[in-house]
Amino acid sequence: MSLQQEIISRLGVQPHINVEAEIRKRVDFLKKHVLDSKTSGLLIAISGGIDSAVAAALCKQATDELTKENGQEYMTLGVFQPYGTQEDIEHSYAVAKAFGLTHTVETNIEDAVNELALETEQGLKDVGQHRHMTPQGKGNIKARTRMVLQYALAFELKLLVVGTDHASEALTGFYTKWGDGAVDITPLSSLNKRQVRQIAAYVGVPQEILDKAPTAGLWEGQTDEGELGVTYEDNSDYLEGKDINPKAKEVLEALYKKTEHKRSPIPGI
């Protein structure tokens, strides 16, 4: 078995999907975990990108169905988490409006991130490095601070924290896992980016979001494809078992090997 075949099998990606069936399967998956955990619903951080928009749509359908079926309210909480002024914050609000989220909060992470960065830079001075944090390092603080706030809200409201991770991100290790703060449940995990886009179009994700370049928003101008050095088209083709450009294949498989620790349980002895 080739490495490509091993990865596809491990991540559970299908070469083709039935969009309606995938939505039903993933909504039922969310409902089961809410009931099994005896929680009151789901929390989804809405960045304004496609992945979180699709996850928000699935969460809202799941909690609406649970409310109807069980005679008590189950909540989908949409969380907006800008760092200072977010130019496209209206896209996050557009997602909430498109899917009828009645519960939303905005938690601005700027002050918390900047304080953590200052403390980190003081720590660097203590070991003889008089410099600012790298943009990548500060970007990671942003991601982790967002997770701290999500879990604080989820604890107080008895919610499960929903991740937007999918197979195209797992392939490259470019997602929230373990040291990044982790999540409770990932309803998109066996889909590649192309398949997430197919579901997005079906459920009615606003067009301005469908047209955006994928980004984690970790620093100004950051895009997923620019950072990783490979397109999501090649990434999705790879996960569907297709032959792709040898250079792109080399990049993807190198990233996969480098980031194995993000897909495996925390090692112990």
Instruction: Specify the pLDDT at position 168.
Output: 92
Share of the chain above pLDDT 70, in %: 91
Structure tokens given for 79: 């969380």
* Average pLDDT for the chain: 91
In this predicted structure, the answer to whether residue 215 has a pLDDT above a threshold of 80 is no
State the DSSP string of 201-245: HHHT--HHHHTSPP---SSTT--HHHHHTS-HHHHHHHHTT----
Instruction: Name the pLDDT band for 87 (thresholds 50, 70, 90).
Output: confident
- 82 DSSP assignment: -
Instruction: Specify the pLDDT at position 3.
Output: 96
Q: Which range has the worst mean pLDDT, 14-18, 37-41, 133-137, 227-231?
A: 227-231
Burial class (CB in 10 A: 0-12, 13-18, 19+), 95: buried
Q: Decide: helix, strand or coil at residue 96.
A: helix
In this predicted structure, the answer to whether residue 225 has a pLDDT above a threshold of 70 is no
Among the listed residues 22, 165, 169, 224, the single catalytic one is: 169
In this predicted structure, the answer to whether residue 261 has a pLDDT above a threshold of 60 is yes
Instruction: Specify the pLDDT at position 136.
Output: 85
pLDDT in tens, 117-169: 999 999 999 999 999 999 989 988 998 999 999 999 999 999 999 999 999 98
CA nearest to 30, candidates 169, 171, 161, 133: 161
Structure tokens given for 75: 């909540």
74-90 burial: b if 16+ Cβ within 10 Å, else e: bbbbbbbbbbeebebbe
Q: How far apart (Å, rounded) are the C-alpha atoms in residues 169 and 129? A: 33
Mean pLDDT along residues 51-65? 97
pLDDT in tens, 158-210: 999 999 999 998 898 876 566 555 899 999 999 999 999 999 999 999 999 98
User: Taking the domain 3-108+145-262, which CATH number applies?
Assistant: 3.40.50.620
Of residues 175 and 66, more confidence is placed in: 66
- 178 DSSP assignment: G
In this predicted structure, the answer to whether residue 218 has a pLDDT above a threshold of 70 is no
Burial class (CB in 10 A: 0-12, 13-18, 19+), 59: buried
Find out whether 52 and 45 touch, Cβ atoms under 8 Å.
Answer: yes
Is 233 a catalytic site residue?
A: no
Domain boundaries, the chain: 3-108+145-262
Instruction: Specify the pLDDT at position 178.
Output: 60
Among the listed residues 51, 165, 224, 237, the single catalytic one is: 51
Is 169 a catalytic site residue?
A: yes
Mean pLDDT along residues 98-118? 97
Find out whether 154 and 162 touch, Cβ atoms under 8 Å.
Answer: no
Single-letter amino acid, residue 33: H
Instruction: Specify the pLDDT at position 221.
Output: 59
Q: 223-227: long-range contacts (C-beta < 8 A, 24 or more apart)?
A: 224/174, 227/174
Sequence-distant (6+) residues with CB within 8 A of 142 are 83, 109, 113, 217, 218
CA nearest to 3, candidates 267, 265, 254: 254
Q: How far apart (Å, rounded) are the C-alpha atoms in residues 113 and 152? A: 16
Q: Which range has the worst mean pLDDT, 25-34, 92-101, 109-118, 203-212?
A: 203-212
In this predicted structure, the answer to whether residue 222 has a pLDDT above a threshold of 80 is no
Instruction: Specify the pLDDT at position 141.
Output: 92
Mean pLDDT along residues 17-24? 98
Instruction: Name the pLDDT band for 267 (thresholds 50, 70, 90).
Output: confident
Instruction: Specify the pLDDT at position 217.
Output: 58
Mean pLDDT along residues 48-71? 96
Helix-, strand-, coil-residue percentages of the chain, each rounded to 5: 55, 5, 35
Helix (H), strand (E) at residue 105: strand 103-106
